[in-house]
Structure 1
């Protein structure tokens, strides 16, 4: 206690009774840009100004979390307008393939296609497989031609970070007979890649091409697989020719998947 009649002495080491509010990146603790100085006569005004700024910043941050679903720990799925369908063969556009000299194989009078689908709260998947044959093929020609398409609606996980890597991985799958070339493709979705199998023998009896497309949280893939015997009267498409067919088919198919 100070002697009677003397004012209490200020202790320079005393802890403040009112905690300051740190606002990282704003200079002195509790002092946002443009805040008035906290000199004599200011008392707690600087602290109150900083606290007000923190409240406003917190409100903005909270609003952003509500808008993006951050409070749920999940971002809202961007399905880009695509919808689930039980038969992916319906929107699959085969016109570019038929225009290139192929026809769908028929089995007992019905088109030879196979499809499957699965719907769940986290992931919807759809597939379609269509068998083709060259339009000018004769009875003793042997050929195996099919178009396989698949689509997935990712409802909980954004496929973007891993999408390109899935296709780039083909570049490491090389054998003594073939290798793969991976190239980006423009004009389809947010990103797209084509994988071309290249035979080292220079054979023209077949083509194997994969086209992958990501549009938002929707992923789509179409695969062209063709083999014709060396004695066949028909010739297989080159990988470049097959790529153009897949690009045209994918563009039309994706548009139909939004209707």
Structure 2
């Protein structure tokens, strides 16, 4: 059984398909060149942000030294500060941990712990995660206060938790600036009537001052 002639427009369809493919290649090449020239054209919420001059150091206990906190506390003579730094194509990080003893303190309220850390996010935008972290703390009963003048965004967390007699205090300051995130947190405990750690506002002032110093030091 013979077949009829091919539809008259079949050749046209094939030619159109070829030119459509060529056009797509040209457009794709042009878009690629534009992206290389102007990366912001494809920026999204998940796109990495610049590091704004922040860089890693080998000893964050020195670079990020909490001078304001150390006006009230001294480093424990039984536990030396520990620091750690990691380098990776996608993420650099550095941290420091300190055990502290309050100058002139008494009983259990004379001891505290301090931990601070910086992450340099080179492959993602950390802003959505930082915002989620803020809301998680709020949901767990922490007092959350926005702080102006530190990076692109910053907030302060505080909670005095425990029974009528025994309390634990947690204070933290979180900062984000581009792809850099930094936080410093303080923990201590006390028994009612036997002395207390610094107040919420005193801790905020100290952590904010030390955060400002650390951010400046990381850009030198």
TM interval, shorter chain, is 0.7 to 0.9
Distance 1:220 1:85 in 2: 14
Q: Distance in 2 between matches of 1:203 and 1:242?
A: 21
Q: How many residues align?
A: 197
Contact 2:152 2:178 in 1 (8 A): yes
Q: Is the CA contact 1:206–1:238 (under 8 Å) kept in the aligned structure 2?
A: no
After TM superposition, give the deviation of residue 80 of structure 1 in Å. 0.8
Is 1:96 matched up with 2:68? yes
Q: 1:8-87 residue pairs with structure 2 within 5 A? A: 62-68=33-39, 77-87=49-59
Change (3 A) 1:202 1:231: closer
Instruction: Kindly indicate whether the alpha-carbon contact (under 8 Å) linking 1:213 and 1:221 is maintained by their aligned counterparts in 2.
Output: yes
Conserved 8 A contact 1:204-1:236: no
The higher relative CO (CA closer than 8 Å, separation ≥ 6) is in 2
- 2:134 is matched with which residue? 167
Larger Rg: 1
Taking the aligned partners of 1:257 and 1:204, their CA distance within structure 2 comes to 38
Segments of 5+ residues of structure 1 without an aligned counterpart are: 1-14, 20-54, 174-178
Structure (1/2) with the larger helix percentage: 2
Gaps of 5+ in 2: 1-11, 17-25
Give the counterpart of 2:149 among 184, 187, 191.
187
Asked whether the equivalents of residues 182 and 194 of structure 1 are also in contact (C-alpha less than 8 Å), the reply is yes
2:189 maps to 1:217? no
Two-structure CA RMSD over aligned residues (Å):
3.3
Output the CA distance in 1 between the equivalents of 2:77 and 2:171: 24
Q: SS where residue 227 of structure 1 aligns?
A: strand
Of 60-69 and 188-197, more deviation after overlay is shown by: 60-69
Hey, what does 1:152 align to over in structure 2? 119
Q: Give the Å deviation of 1:70.
A: 7.0
Q: Check conservation: 1:205, 1:235, Cα contact below 8 A.
A: no
Give the Cα–Cα distance (whole angstroms) in 2 for the partners of residues 120 and 253 of structure 1: 22
Shift of 1:134: 1.1
